[in-house]
Amino acid sequence: MTGRKQFHVNAHYYLALLIAFCLPLARLVPIFIVLMLINWLFEGGLKNKMHTILKSKIALLFISFFMIHLLGLIYTENIDAGLFDVQVKLSLLIFPLLFVSKPLNAMRVNAVFVSFIAGGIVCSVIMLSRALYTYYALGENNFFYQAFSFLVHPSYLSMYFNLSISWILLNLFTRKSNHTFSKTISVLVILFFTFIIVLLSSKMGLLTLILIYFGFIIAFIVNRKKYLLGITSLVVMSVLVFSLIRFVPEIRDRFNNAVTAMSSSSEDQSQSESTAVRLLIWKAANQVISENFLFGAGTGDAKDALVKEYEKQGMTGALHHKLNAHNEFYQVFVSIGVIGFIVFLLCLVFPLSEALKASNMLYILFLLIMILNFVPESMFETQAGVMFYAFFNSLLCFSNNKSTNIYI
């Protein structure tokens, strides 16, 4: 390999490390993505790269999802909002191009996750330091939810940490002897991120964390035949979850509000509580979809269409905040219609099917985490969501990463 070629290969790798590190900090990521794309272009060999891209059905599937959003500009009235939306979603185009033609090997993928975890630790230390300072200097309690997570929305940050915990757990349970971290460090990082997720108080973040732990414990019981240890772990986990919801006021209130909203037979159109307003928004989204079934409202008109429906239904809470669909499945259907919705589902189902065939547990867990978080949030409406998905989805889908085949 020539010196010039080696430079571009290394630049591709180091920029991937920087992107992973900076994602939890919500700083500089777009700049590093642009640099990664420039490096890819200046490396040359574009004809071979395009040939590789065109041969990959799954890469073309990912790219087509972005292209449908681009086509949605044709019938968009709010062109400024449409152009902004396409700009936010550019990662959906860029990362499949970069990683299908320049995949990383297993060792480098592991290094990317180490960098991602390091960024998460730095982010957590910054948030804890700020919360401690404001508590002792100003007497303010900024230890929970949005008051604590001032860098990235709690739902997104919880998702980041859940993926980090999944990667560490998979490394702990692999049969390889050369673990990235020692068992002691691994356990400490898992406990630390678990603590941070509790402070973030995202309902879906906590639910995802619980499912991850229960899933690993059940897999441990089945595969290792250590029934007593496994059942004891399940009981301890259940007690901890109950205690968390019962005795931590911030978390208890959020879950109680969610249960009340889902069990209530009446509808308060002025609601702005997160779960209650989501149920109202999804009802409004269904109406918008029925009126724009085939092609959607348009890439830039989705929010306008929803806001118009909020006003029509007297949903003052959602109208005041001009909320999006708060569900990626609804958001896609409202924006680009049934065709875009089907392509979006294929972008999840087809890779998941391939990952299951290959027993690629890390990619399986990543996709399941994403699917869970698509339910309460329109993840692709912000760069914190779309860059995270596009980066790790392409990294794990296209990389030569057999080391992610884990045997618990």
The residue that leads in pLDDT, 124 or 256, is 124
pLDDT band at 329 (very low <50, low <70, confident <90, very high): very high
pLDDT tens per residue across span 350-384: 999 999 999 899 999 999 999 999 999 999 999 99
Q: Which two tokens stand for residue 104?
A: 């990383």
pLDDT at 222: 82
Asked if 264 and 280 count as a contact pair (C-beta separation under 8 A), the reply is no
pLDDT tens per residue across span 95-105: 999 999 999 99
d(CA 306, CA 284): 7
d(CA 123, CA 113): 15
Residues 6+ apart with CB under 8 A from 384: 23, 26, 152, 153, 156
* Mean pLDDT on 311-333: 92
Residue 392: pLDDT above 70?
yes
- Which amino acid would we find at residue 112? V
Within a 10 A sphere around the Cβ of 375, how many other Cβ atoms?
15
Residues 6+ apart with CB under 8 A from 408: 173, 216, 219, 220, 223, 224
Specify the range with the lowest mean pLDDT, choosing from 82-91, 272-281, 316-325: 272-281
- Radius of gyration for the alpha carbons in the chain, expressed in angstroms and rounded: 22
pLDDT tens per residue across span 126-137: 999 999 999 999
Residues 6+ apart with CB under 8 A from 119: 20, 21, 22, 23, 24, 25
Q: Which two tokens stand for residue 162?
A: 């859940």
The long-range contacts involving 184-192, CB below 8 angstroms and separated by at least 24 positions, are 189/117, 189/121, 189/164, 190/165, 192/121, 192/124
* Mean pLDDT on 145-160: 94
Residue 260: pLDDT above 70?
no
Asked if 167 and 114 count as a contact pair (C-beta separation under 8 A), the reply is no
* Mean pLDDT on 80-84: 96
Name which of 28, 5, 15 is nearest 111 in CA terms. 15
Dihedral sign, CA of 299, 300, 303, 304? negative
Residue 308: pLDDT above 70?
yes
Query: First vs last Cα of the chain: how many Å apart?
Result: 38
Specify the range with the lowest mean pLDDT, choosing from 113-117, 150-154, 171-175, 404-408: 404-408
- B/e letters for 291-301, b = 16+ CB within 10 Å, e = fewer, are ebeebbbbbbb
Mean pLDDT of the residues in the chain: 89
What residue segments make up the domains of the chain, in order of their start? 1-44, 62-104+272-399, 109-263
pLDDT at 273: 56
pLDDT at 36: 98
**How do the residues of the chain divide into helix, strand and coil, expressed in percent and rounded to 5?**
80, 0, 20
Residues 6+ apart with CB under 8 A from 351: 58, 363, 367, 393, 397
d(CA 302, CA 315): 17
Residue 401: pLDDT above 90?
no
Specify the range with the lowest mean pLDDT, choosing from 16-25, 291-300, 312-321: 312-321
The residue that leads in pLDDT, 242 or 267, is 242
pLDDT at 403: 42
pLDDT at 39: 96
pLDDT band at 407 (very low <50, low <70, confident <90, very high): very low
Asked if 381 and 332 count as a contact pair (C-beta separation under 8 A), the reply is no
pLDDT at 269: 60
pLDDT band at 408 (very low <50, low <70, confident <90, very high): very low
Classify 199 as helix, strand or coil: helix
What is the DSSP secondary structure assignment for residue 403, as one 8-state letter? G
pLDDT tens per residue across span 158-178: 999 999 999 999 998 875 545
Within a 10 A sphere around the Cβ of 110, how many other Cβ atoms?
19
* Mean pLDDT on 191-204: 93
